[in-house]
Amino acid sequence: MASYIGRRKFLATLGGAAAWPLAASAQQRTNAPTQKLYRIGFLFAGTIALRPQAQEFWWKLQELGYSEGKNLITEIREARGDLARLPELASEIVDTHPDVIVAVTSTAAAAAKMATETIRS
């Protein structure tokens, strides 16, 4: 249970960190006539259904005023446990030109980093 809570806090922090640039930009654009459509890529080594912590990320985005189709597009790729697929899936996400990529595991993060030169550690 402690491991789950620690992981949950980590993911909540990660979600906040990933959403922070979006929130800052949204606050700057409140009077803008058109709102930017942000694209978030999610890369999972398993499946999103097995990661209930991801729901907190979605809730926080909604709380900040982001919703799918209105000002947000999500690109979700799941390796479903086949880690050899991660580089291919990461490349698919990079090809969509996301504003941010969320990779929960270190394996997925490494695949995302290898797929593009613009990711900084």
Please report whether residue 17 resides in a domain: yes
Let me know if residue 120 belongs to a domain.
Answer: no
SS3 105: coil
User: Sign of the CA dihedral 25, 30, 33, 36?
Assistant: positive
Q: What is the pLDDT of residue 10?
A: 47
Residue-wise pLDDT for 103-114, tens only, equals 978 999 999 999
Average pLDDT (1-28) is 48
- Asked if residue 71 is part of any domain, the answer here is yes
Q: What pTM did the predictor assign?
A: 0.66
Q: Is residue 91 part of a domain?
A: yes
Domain that holds residue 55: 2-27+37-115
Given a contact cutoff of 8 angstroms between Cβ atoms, the answer to whether 71 and 30 are in contact is no
Flag whether pLDDT at 23 surpasses 80.
no
Instruction: Please indicate, yes or no, if residue 121 is contained in any of the structural domains.
Output: no
The total number of structural domains in the chain stands at 1
CATH of the domain at 15: 3.40.50
Asked whether the beta carbons of 75 and 40 are under 8 A apart, the reply is yes
Please check whether residue 32 lies inside any domain of the structure: no
The helix/strand/coil state of 75 is: strand
User: Taking a C-beta distance cutoff of 8 angstroms, is the pair 14, 102 a contact?
Assistant: yes
Query: Is position 60 within any domain?
Result: yes
Residue 75 lies in a domain: yes
- CB count within 10 Å of CB 9 equals 12
